[in-house]
Structure 1
Amino acid sequence: MESAYTPDLDYHTALALLEWQVELGADETILETPVNRYEVQPEKPAAVAAVRPGIPPPPVAQPKIDPVQVARQMAAGAGDLVALRGAMAAYEHCELKRGAKSLVFSDGNPAARVMIIGEAPGRDEDREGRPFVGKAGQLLDRMLGAIGMDRRADDPVQAVYISNVLPWRPPQNRDPKPEEIQMLLPFLRRHVELVQPDLVVLMGNISCQAGLGKRGITRLRGQWTEAYGKPAIPMFHPAYLLRSPHAKREAWADLLSLKSRLGG
């Protein structure tokens, strides 16, 4: 390779060339170590932002909480009905809890052969902390009495056990949202597992949606199916019967089907 050195370069020309290079930004002639321009340089670590006094560091992203998974874990850890009620009371991921007065857990005899699952508490239920205590509850008691059953009975053959899909009253008695049903469903499944009824009654559309994954009570009612691993029959909700007295004929047929299934 031909040397770039020119021995006959005069002083003034060399000085002019040096000044020209300085103007271009050259500030030194050589480095302490040779530089390989073809070598891949390692990436520099990202600079850590300095924390200034009095200024908090940026927030650290928290892992997203799955309310359904939390409910599954809490429900699975409940070994009896008392523990299940305590787990539901400690559950903090349902906004309905914030506006409700009471946790409406259950009523009746947990040793009963029949477990009735309603939809959600209303105003009267929220006030008293028990399911089906308003006008719809009074009608339910009369319906059960017509086939010789009573929520206050000690005999498991005559007794019933009552709960709801949701333990807290939705505002203005609106229908529960799908995400509210999903996050509370693990508690309901565990409820049925602990009670171990022979038969389940799904009262109303919301109860059918939770237990069967579908709605349409006028089409579903009276047809025996399976929910929560138990034989189940959908029925009209008593509140619907108060608004639609003409449907009481079908409700009576469903009650007789329930009595027949119990063997009496």
Structure 2
Amino acid sequence: MASELQPPSPEALAALLDWYVANDVDVAIEEEAVNRLVARAAEEIAPEPTPRPMPPVFDAAPRAQPSLPIATARTPEAEVLAAREAAASAPTLEALRDALGRFEGCALKTTAKSLVFAQGNPNARVVLVGDPPGRDEDLQGEPFSGAAGPLVDRMLAAIGLSRAEVHLANIVPWRPPGNRAPTPQETAVCRPFLDRQIELVDPDYLICLGPMAAKELLPTTEGLLRIRGQWFPYDTGRRRIRAMATLHPSYLLLQPLQKRLVWRDLLALRAALDEKNA
């Protein structure tokens, strides 16, 4: 009975590999034998290819190519200046919205789905400016149309107001990607449009909803919880009005106990409205 073949030992395989290296073996055995000496001989006796004739060379100077204009990006200062000019030239809110739609100086426009400009009464006594638009606002193109929208409606109703009676806006009209805070440059280039928007509405009171709106519009560096409920002066471009900051409705959804603070601020707004009516 023939003995079964045993696989080679590791020592035998190592010795075989050393033999391959010593004899310059670099190709494994194929299915069919190949006489590589014949192929090499054919290469040695093959005639050299006939060189292709070179094209004639002309001494005439090449024609000058027309120069193309080089696109240069405007500096941040130039973008802000362009925003001021565009905003100042808008005589109405509708024209201002059109100017924003044509404006290309803010990078937020390239990532947002829609322009979130305004909602409500164009001649309102109260303007509410919130932090940047979120996902729902970006999809629908209206301020406070997301989860915080119903809470805004209830807040207004608590002091006898409705969404149709006030004017709603955001600190920037496009949603920053990932709901991040807008950069100082993005806020600066959008600010002329917001200032012009408030000027055209010409309200009696300005309410900043959230820390970013308060930081941008109010003359203070204090935190929101320190300044909420206090009146500050705000120059609309036509006259000086009273401005106040309070907590953003989205924050109240996460911290319901803080609604008591906002209720006090809303009562202060209601009292100011009634005092002016008296």
Q: Deviations over 1:217-245 (max 9, x none)?
A: 11110001122432101010001111111
Counterpart mapping for 1:1-264 below 5 A = 53=63, 64-65=74-75, 66-152=78-164, 159-212=165-218, 214=221, 216-228=223-235, 229-263=240-274
CA distance in structure 2 between the partners assigned to 1:242 and 1:211 by the alignment: 24
The two structures, once aligned, show a CA RMSD in angstroms of 2.1
- 196-205 vs 61-70, greater mean Cα deviation: 61-70
Q: Which amino acid aligns with 2:187?
A: I
Partners of 1:64 and 1:143 in 2: how far apart?
Answer: 43
Unaligned runs of 5+ in 2: 1-60
Q: Cα deviation per residue 1:147-196 (whole Å; 9 max; x = unaligned)?
A: 111012xxxxxx11101111101111111111111111000110011000
Give the paired residue count.
208
Pick which of 134-143 and 71-80 moved more. 134-143
Alpha carbons of 1:52 and 1:191: their partners in 2 closer, same or farther (altered >3 Å)? Answer: farther
CA pair 63-169 structure 1, distance change in 2 beyond 3 A: closer
* Distance change (3 Å), C-alpha of 1:216 and 1:82: same
Match of 1:82, SS state, is: helix
Counterparts in 2 of 1:64 and 1:106: CA distance versus 1, 3 Å: closer
SS of 1:116's partner is: strand
Identity %: 46
CA distance in 2, matches of 1:101, 1:58: 33
Aligned to 1:135, what secondary structure does the other structure show?
A: coil
Calculate the TM-score normalised by the size of structure 1.
0.74
Aligned partners of 1:101 and 1:137: how far apart in 2? 19
Contact 1:198 1:231 (8 Å CA) reproduced:
yes
CA contact (8 A) 1:206 1:215 kept: no
In structure 2, how many angstroms separate the alpha carbons of the residues matched to 1:215 and 1:175? 18
C-alpha distance in 2 between matches for 1:81 and 1:181: 20
TM-score normalised to the size of structure 2?
A: 0.70
**Partners of 1:124 and 1:235 in 2: how far apart?**
22
CA contact (8 A) 2:218 2:243 kept: no
Deviates more, 1:180-189 or 1:204-213: 204-213
Contact 1:208–1:215 (Cα < 8 Å) also in 2: no
